[in-house]
Structure formats: C-alpha cells, structure tokens
Structure 1
Amino acid sequence: MIQVLMVEDHPLVKEGIMAILADEEGINCAGHFYNGTDLLYRLKSFQPDVILMDIDLPDMNGLELCKQVKALYPAVCVVALSINNQAGIIKKMMENGASGYVLKDAAQHEITEAIRTVVKGKQYFSRSASLYLRKADTGKLPPLTRREKQVLEKIADGLTNPQIAEQLFVDVSTVNSHRKNMLAKFGVQNTAALIKLAIKENLI
C-alpha cells in the first residue's frame, strides 16, 4: 500500500483529491495538512511514500518546504500540485528535490499516475506541465502577475519585505513568497540580479 500525505490549503481541492485517492486501489491518503509547519511536525513520527504538496501555502513557500523535506527525509517522494505553470518554478521545484509536478488542471488519472510513477524512482510531469516546460524553450521571459509587478516595483524602490507588506496590505510571508517565485521564474540567484534583469527587459 502506497502511503500518501497531502499539504493543500484549498478545501475544495483537498476534498477532490482525497475522493480520487479513496477510490484508488493500493493508495492510502494517510493524512492532510493545510500548512507546511503541521506537515513537518507529522513527518517527525510518520514518513509516507509520497507527499502531494501545494506550492502556495499560507505559512511558507512550497519550494522551500520541498527542500526541507528532502534534506530531512530523502526517501520521501514529493509531487508538486499547483496552479503555477511557470517553467522556472517547475524547474526550481525539481531542483529542490521534487519527483513530479502536476498542474491542478490535470486529469484525475494523472494524479494517481504521478504517485505510482515516483515511488518507482522515476520523474512525472502532468501533460500540461510538460507542455509549459517545452514552451519555455522559446526563450521568452515569463509574464509577471499584477501582484508580482507591484512587489517588484517596491523592491526596486529599496523597500524591505515588512514595508512592502504594510503598503500592499498583505502578510510578510506573502511578499517573501512573491520574491522567491520571481527569482525562480527568471532563473536568477538574488534580488540584485532580479532588479537588473527587470530594468533591462523594461519590466519596471
């Protein structure tokens, strides 16, 4: 029996996936968590075969969570489950140790296929995730969301994460998540390189 844990903060998505797994022979969803902190606490006493992991979580970025999980429990397979279709994010998630990436527009069978594939030591990408990865090879820069552009402009103005959070009326963790997503999107290592690229490409 393949043991699965899920960390997903959207109740509808959670219920849908749990219903899919409940009907699947040989797969057991042994637990669900709404944030990364609770998942990490559970992993101290129970390590599943696979973790289905959302990237945008309320308390931490899935990219960082995946890295932490793989550092502590290298035998646990991580499958990203996200609406984020940016090739840079997909690649960064895989670099951080994920074995698979499934977009939330995937067919039901793709979720179970992903679980069965990664426990065999192979990588898995949902059909749409593979498509976005191939599109990325055209060399075009990925577009920024409206909120990412706002955060980027504030960063360029020299504001700190707490200052940006205060001005945009969001949590500091949300600003930090946007910052990390943009670094991954554009394949740069730090904020200075992000600003340099943004100015060069007239993004700000």
Structure 2
Amino acid sequence: MSHQPYQLAILDDHPIVLEGLVRVLSGNGTFDIAGAFTTAKDFLVFLSNHPVDVVLLDIILPDSNGMDLCKIIKTTAPDTVVLALSNHDQRSAIMKMLENGASGYLLKNASIEELVNAINDALAGQLVFSDTIREIITRPAPDMAAAPALTAREQEILKLIASGITTKRIAEMLFLSKFTVENHRKNLLQKFGVKNVAGLIQAANNQGLLS
C-alpha cells in the first residue's frame, strides 16, 4: 500500500537554513513540505491540527530544545518520525534524542542525497545516522558494565536488529514467527537493561558485540 507523498515538517531557529532546506527538499516526489517553523510553540500548534509523517528537528530552538520537543512529539503523535538535524555532535545530546524517541541523528553537513535517503530509511522504520554520529555513538564508553551472556540465537537477532532490519523481516530470514522474534527482542532489552532499540544498539556496541 503506497502512502505518498509523506508530510514533512522542518524546525530550525535560522530562517535562512529553513528556506534552504525547504527549497532543496521540495518536489522530490516522496514527501511534501507540510510546514517550516522556527519555534517549538508554532510547530506544536500546527501538529495538533495536521498529521505529520516526519520532522527534521534542530537541537537548539529559541523556546525549547530538540530533546524535550522530541519527547512531546512522540507522546502526542507516536507515529511521527523525528530526525535530529543539527551541528551539535555531543554524545549526550545524541543519546538523549534517541532516548526520547528520535529515529536518527544527522549533521547539517550531510549532502542532500544523504538527507533524502535518511528520511526515506527512517520512514521505512530504520535508525539513521550521519557517519560521524555513528562513530561517536559506537565508541566504547569507559564505564560500561560487563556484557550479558547471550545465546547464539540472541546474538544473531541482535546483529540483525542493529542493521536496521524489521522484526517481520528477521522472522522471514530466520524462519521464525514474528512472536518468537519479538520475544527475543524483549529478552535482549531486558538483558542489557535498556528501554528501546537505540539503547540496545548503543549498549551492544559499547561491549564490542557488533564488531
């Protein structure tokens, strides 16, 4: 079932950046620009009346920050995909965005092609990162606990999840039921003591389980 074009909203505190993004992302066929906003307040008013499929969100906004706003968006519109698009590459900001439900984190030096691909991948349910960001979040954190003991099947499923493959597809690939894969996913979250897939990937990376 095709769902096109997707509705895309952009939030950035610099009007000139907004204008540039609107211009380069318009008319690509996959998504329409639903709106461009410089404040969280204006966007939230808009969101309450207009469903949006994907939001490009800067971390710094005049009346809020991307981390808090991401949480509000995911609470009020859980199906909206949130992607951070920022110049900030502090690990803490990246992890907070992912913790609050973002589907990825891109730096503003991304090429248009990279940006469009990332939006499409995120809409398809994948986690997306600029290369620099992926490098930052996969660097081992110094204070990580010992890795939990995983079964061979759990290790296999963990690697597939980390590759951005959906539960349904993993089930098909491994000839398992979706229910079984979902159970493995829940067990993995529990074993690593994390709340979501982003946390799972970070923890597994920190313990060298994905290399």
The normalised TM-score by structure 2 is 0.63
Q: 1:1-204 maps to which residues of 2 (within 5 A)?
A: 1-135=5-139, 137=140, 139=142
Q: Note the alpha carbon deviations across 1:135-183, whole angstroms, 9 max, x for none.
A: 4x2639xxxxxxxxxxxxxxxxxxxxxxxxxxxxxxxxxxxxxxxxxxx
1:117: Cα distance to partner?
Answer: 0.9
Match of residue 144 from structure 1: none
Q: Which amino acid aligns with 1:24?
A: N
Corresponding residue of 1:143: none
Q: Please, which runs of 5 or more residues in structure 2 have no aligned partner?
A: 144-211
1:12 to partner: Cα distance: 2.3
The one-letter code of the counterpart of 1:95 is E
CA distance in 2, matches of 1:105, 1:116: 18
1:83 deviates by: 0.8
**Aligned length, in residue pairs:** 139
Q: CA deviation at 1:105?
A: 1.3
Distance 2:34 2:10 in 1: 8
Whether the 8 Å contact between 1:106 and 1:127 is mirrored in structure 2 is no
CA–CA distance in 2 between the matches of 1:48 and 1:79? 13
* Residue pair 1:70, 1:76 contacting (<8 A) in 2 also: yes
Alignment-derived partner of residue 161 in structure 1 = none
Q: CA deviation at 1:23?
A: 4.2
Task: List per-residue Cα deviations over 1:15-34 (Å, max 9, x = no partner).
Answer: 22112211422221110110
CA-atom RMSD, angstroms?
A: 1.5
Q: SS of the residue aligned with 1:15?
A: helix
AA aligned opposite 1:72: T
Q: Aligned equivalents of 1:138 and 1:45: distance in 2?
A: 42
Partners of 1:134 and 1:123 lie apart in 2 by 14
State the alpha-carbon separation in 2 of the partners of residues 133 and 71 from structure 1.
25
SS of 1:24's partner is coil
Correspondence for 1:193? none
- Letter in structure 1 aligned against 2:17: V
Structure 1: gaps of 5 or more residues: 141-204
Alignment correspondent of 1:149? none
- Describe the SS at the equivalent of 1:44: helix
SS in 1 for 2:59: coil
Corresponding residue SS for 2:36: strand
